[in-house]
């Protein structure tokens, strides 16, 4: 009996020290009360959409549907809570056989420590609706946080949980910086397939490296140079545009649409750097000769498009070759095409000095 009493006291002490062991004992605040970052457009149908409402019915249905995925979006807040939890509901409860649930529909928490964003923990999804503690037993010091939203699913609702006595409010620090985001346009790879968690997609990694907000306009299987997307992009006061769409377009589409896509952006943003990115060199090209030939043809076509654009007098057009983007050992993908965290890290590290230089040139 005495031993049981001691165990009960120890258990109670642990609960008090951690402030909250059960997620049900926390207070929850709707994430709409806090700053949402990396959002290119304010006039969206729903809070966590990526395209403006006026494109509904104007852009192709799969593009519109994918714009409901939250890739790139994040919530910024500060709190002194020793526990951070979340309660969220996704729109689709998407599952894939090559992509982790934490990447598809999970949450990913970072904390600003000594001027750098540091990974805290991920919110693991349990299905369409989840309530989960992301981190507990912290010191309870006032800190700034960033919560990345799902890469390949949308959100019906999101609430952030803290201990009842804690404060939680909007951030004080401007990080990643709001001014002049980097705008990424592309494919499933740009959208984040197949990062193990949201913070590991290459646009999100670059946002932290550059300390600058990004706008993710990656549309899985549908980065097909839709001209209305170029018009929407041109409306963003960007520091740099990165176009990384070659895996989704045919050579025919490139010849028919790429120049017009660039022209639309240039009409409104004549002095903003545009970086054209070659298609990554899929490792299985070393065995599949048709894939090898197709990648070569696409990249050769892009070089011609780049040179043609330069010949118009465009001094702010730049080119990124693919030969080192994901390394040369063939270990950067999950399925020969979509990137693992290793592939995304290599791509981020390769693009960082290039984009950093372009941002400085624009300033």
d(Cα 261, Cα 258) in Å, to the nearest integer? Answer: 5
pLDDT at 343: 98
pLDDT at 60: 98
Q: Which CATH number fits domain 177-362: 3.40.50.1110, 2.60.40.10, 3.30.1490.100, 3.30.1360.70?
A: 3.40.50.1110
Residue 257: what pLDDT?
A: 98
Strand residue runs (E) in 149-211: 155-162, 168-169, 177-186
What pLDDT, on the 0 to 100 scale, is given for residue 21? 62
In CATH terms, the fold of domain 23-169 is: Jelly Rolls (2.60.120)
Give domain limits for the chain. Answer: 23-169, 177-362
Per DSSP, 301 falls in state H
The count of other CB atoms within 10 Å of the CB of residue 340 is: 18
- Pairing type for strands 177-186 and 212-218 reads parallel
Count of helix runs (H) and strand runs (E) in the chain: 9, 15
pLDDT at 338: 98
In what side-by-side order are the strands of the sheet with 177-186?
Answer: 212-218, 177-186, 240-244, 274-277, 317-320
Q: Which residue has the tokens 């839709």?
A: 226
Stated pTM of the model: 0.93
Give the largest Cα separation in the chain, rounded: 87
Mean pLDDT by 10 residues, the chain (363 residues): 41 42 92 98 98 98 98 98 98 96 98 97 98 97 98 98 98 97 98 98 98 98 98 98 98 98 98 98 94 97 98 97 95 97 98 97 80
Cα 175 to Cα 3, 210, 222, distances in angstroms = 51, 10, 31
User: Residues 6 or more apart from 7 whose CB is under 8 A from it?
Assistant: none
Pairing of strands 116-123, 107-113: antiparallel
State the Cα–Cα distance between residues 260 and 258, nearest whole angstrom: 5
pLDDT on residue 362: 80
């Amino acid at each position: 009996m005495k031993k049981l009493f001691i165990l009960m006291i120890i258990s109670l002490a642990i609960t008090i020290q951690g402030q909250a062991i059960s997620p049900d004992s926390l207070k929850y605040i709707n994430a709409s009360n806090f700053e949402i970052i990396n959002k290119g457009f304010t006039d969206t149908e729903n809070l966590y959409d990526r395209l403006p409402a006026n494109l509904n019915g104007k852009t192709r249905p799969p593009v519109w549907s994918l714009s409901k995925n939250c890739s790139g979006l994040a919530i910024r807040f500060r709190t002194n809570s020793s526990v951070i939890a979340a309660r969220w509901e996704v729109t689709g409860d998407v599952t894939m056989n090559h992509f982790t649930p934490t990447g598809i529909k999970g949450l990913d928490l970072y904390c600003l420590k000594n001027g750098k964003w540091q990974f805290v923990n991920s919110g693991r999804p349990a299905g369409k609706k989840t309530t989960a503690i992301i981190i507990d037993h912290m010191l309870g010091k006032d800190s700034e946080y960033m919560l990345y939203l799902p890469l390949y699913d949308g959100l019906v609702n999101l609430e952030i949980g803290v201990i009842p006595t804690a404060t939680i409010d909007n951030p004080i620090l401007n990080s990643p910086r709001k001014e002049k985001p980097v705008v990424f346009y592309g494919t499933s790879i740009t959208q984040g397939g197949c990062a193990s968690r949201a913070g590991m997609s290459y646009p999100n990694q670059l946002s932290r490296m550059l300390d600058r907000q990004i706008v993710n306009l990656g549309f899985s299987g549908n980065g097909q140079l839709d001209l209305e997307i170029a018009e929407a992009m041109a409306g963003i006061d960007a520091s740099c545009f990165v176009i990384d769409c070659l895996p989704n377009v045919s050579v025919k589409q490139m010849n028919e649409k790429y120049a017009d896509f660039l022209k639309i952006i240039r009409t409104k943003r004549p002095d903003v750097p545009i970086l054209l990115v070659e298609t990554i060199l899929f490792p299985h090209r070393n065995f599949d000769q048709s894939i090898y030939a197709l990648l070569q043809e696409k990249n050769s076509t892009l070089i011609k498009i780049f040179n043609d654009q330069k010949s118009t007098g465009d001094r702010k057009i730049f080119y990124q070759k693919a030969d080192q983007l994901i390394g040369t050992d063939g270990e950067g993908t999950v399925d020969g095409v979509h990137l693992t965290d290793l592939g995304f890290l290599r791509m981020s590290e390769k693009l960082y000095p290039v984009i950093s230089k372009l941002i400085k040139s624009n300033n």
